[in-house]
Structure 1
């Protein structure tokens, strides 16, 4: 068996290894969302949550809050607008300033997400990371091994089933 190149090169390819792990985790969150009737990408949740918690915000304020570029926020907001989860309108004082607000459908999606996705995913992530110890690269290996044994989506599903039967 060939050793994983990203693991073999340790800190040199740390960013690539973290990106691979992030993509794996996000794919599992998509599975959990889809199981619960939600057509949302993990990256959408941060924007939706920011608006749900703080009310309508400009593209610039969202970019600043999330530490992302304005073009990235504009792209996410456009996708969420296509899904009818947010409404993007021009500001009264400056037509170039775009305000993003949740629609009723967006508020419903947030309620459903909090109830059926966020809690199980949070519990699954906590379960995976609670036993990690040692240097960072060792922790990454432990995390990857744990996810090989049972995916985050499967852990979230188990949590949901336990909550339902409790």
Structure 2
């Protein structure tokens, strides 16, 4: 049995990161194989803009549950590549709105078949066994649990009054 699997929940984060990196590498390989200049890291913003034509950076960061700064950095990268354009909201100049540029619209048309194939591939993967069918539900429940009480808070509760510095000696 591989080390990660026998080590249990202590490697939960490492296993998720490894799984995520493998997933993203495969998806990026598909784009590359088909001559599509797209990075899987752009997917959330591209998908959101494919559903709504114009979004504010605040809306993007809120939906992605990420910092405004992180969303802004991703938007800046996409803007540098000429894939999206931004403008200030006419009713509130502090609010920055983003939308696809013509180049971004063209790229969206190229990636849509990949997203469709990915949906089918993931449905197939998740249907392979009763346990994998529950994966998305389990992830959702774990996310909800983290929203109620972070891992940091949970660890600190278990550490309680134990003085870690005593163990360093």
What is the match of residue 119 of structure 1? 116
Q: Which has the larger radius of gyration?
A: 2
Note if contact 2:53-2:99 (Cα within 8 Å) is conserved in structure 1: yes
CA contact (8 A) 2:126 2:132 kept: no
1:34-85 Cα distance to aligned partner (Å, 9 max, x none) = 1222222212111111112112111001111222221111111111111111
Q: Number of aligned pairs?
A: 134
Unmatched runs of 5 consecutive residues or more in structure 2 = 136-169
Determine which structure has greater relative contact order: mean sequence separation of CA pairs < 8 Å that are 6+ residues apart, divided by chain length.
Answer: 1
Return closer, same or farther for 1:111/1:100 CA change in 2, 3 Å cut-off. Answer: same
TM-fit CA distance, 1:134: 4.1
Residues of 2 paired with 1:39 and 1:127: CA distance?
26
Which secondary structure does the structure 1 equivalent of 2:97 belong to? strand
Distance between the aligned counterparts of 1:8 and 1:14, measured in 2? 11
Structure 1 unaligned blocks of 5 or more: 140-166
1:120 deviation in Å? 1.9
- Secondary structure of 2:130's match? coil
**1:84 aligned counterpart, secondary structure:** coil
Match of 1:86 in 2: 84
> What TM-score, normalized by structure 2, do the two folds share?
0.71
* Superposition pairs of residues 103-142 of structure 1, within 5 angstroms: 103-115=101-113, 117-134=114-131
Find 1:67's aligned residue among 65, 68, 91. Answer: 65
Distance 1:135 1:81 in 2: 37
Q: Give the whole-Å Cα distance in 2 for the aligned partners of 1:78 and 1:39.
A: 17
Task: Give the Cα–Cα distance (whole angstroms) in 2 for the partners of residues 81 and 75 of structure 1.
Answer: 10
Distance 1:106 1:131, change over 3 A: same
Whole-angstrom CA distance in 2 between matches of 1:119 and 1:12? 35
Q: Secondary structure at the match of 1:78?
A: helix
Q: TM-score w.r.t. structure 1 length?
A: 0.72
